[in-house]
Structure formats: structure tokens, C-alpha cells
Amino acid sequence: MLTIHTADEGGAVAVEGARVVGVGPLADLEQRFPAARLRRWPGVLGPARVHEGPLPDAPSPRERIHAVLKTGAVAVLEQYANTPELRAAAARNDVAVLPRTHTPALRETARADLAVFDETGTCIATVCGGRLVHRRR
């Protein structure tokens, strides 16, 4: 489903499947994709993060990966996803396991990894590979 994500600052990202199909002002994307579903988020929309440290403590590998998603990150460093169980949990959730960090960016044709943060830096929503995987209520 084609979805346009937008936030308070007015920028927007159009997502279809697992890919970004447009980035820019909301009005431009609404004109380009008139049939798209619109998701409005309070806060600032930007690229999802890379979790650069040890994974949060939790009772299971799945819950450790979910804790990372709740921070707005959709990638972890392989040195911290160092067990088969953690790598499997990451794979099941489309969380990338990277050999080193990189600077995330939102651009057309890239994987749809984005996050929305409030004024305190708390993650409101995380989209990983085009799927909404975390939403703060």
C-alpha cells in the first residue's frame, strides 16, 4: 500500500512496499500520489537510526530487538548481535545487522526506514522496511 508519512515540520516521505518512492514537501507528494494513504505524526520525521551500542536487556532476543525498534533504530551492529538467536530475531523483524555504522538518509529507491521523534527525542513511530513496527500510544 502506498503511504505518505508526514510530521509537524511539513516534510514527507512516500513509501510503497519496502521502498521510498518520494521525499519532499507534503503538498508535492500528495500531488504526485493522490491515492496514497496519509499518516500524520506529531514531531520530526527523519531517517531511522543505527543502534550503535549493546542491545537493551530483555528476557528474550525478540524483546531485545523490539526494544531497539522502540528507540527509532532499524539496524544494529554485528558485534552486538553476536548470537544466532539475536541474528534470527533481527532477520525476522527486517532489522539490518551491519558490520559498521553508516549515516542514514531518506532518498528515493532506498529501503523505507524512517522514524518520528518528539521534542524530547522520544521515538513516536518507527517504520522498518516499509512496515510500521513501533507506535507510541
Q: Supply 107's cell numbers.
A: 532518498
Domain 2-47+106-118+125-135 is in which class?
Answer: mainly beta
- Give mean pLDDT in consecutive 10-residue pieces for the chain, a chain of 137 residues: 91 97 96 97 96 96 97 97 96 96 93 96 97 91
- pLDDT at 137 (0 to 100): 72
Q: What is the structure's pLDDT at 54? A: 97
- Quote helix, strand, coil % in the chain, to nearest 5: 20, 40, 40
pTM, whole model, 2 decimals?
0.93
List pLDDT tens digits, range 58-84: 999 999 999 999 999 999 999 999 999
Burial of 68 (0-12, 13-18, 19+ CB in 10 A): buried
Residue with cell 522496511: 129
Predicted local confidence at residue 9, as pLDDT:
80
Q: Give me the pLDDT at residue 114, please.
A: 97
Let me know: does 102 contact 50? Beta carbons within 8 Å. yes
Please state the domain extents for the chain. 2-47+106-118+125-135, 49-98
Distance of alpha carbon 68 from alpha carbon 107, whole angstroms? 23
Q: What is the pLDDT of residue 7?
A: 93
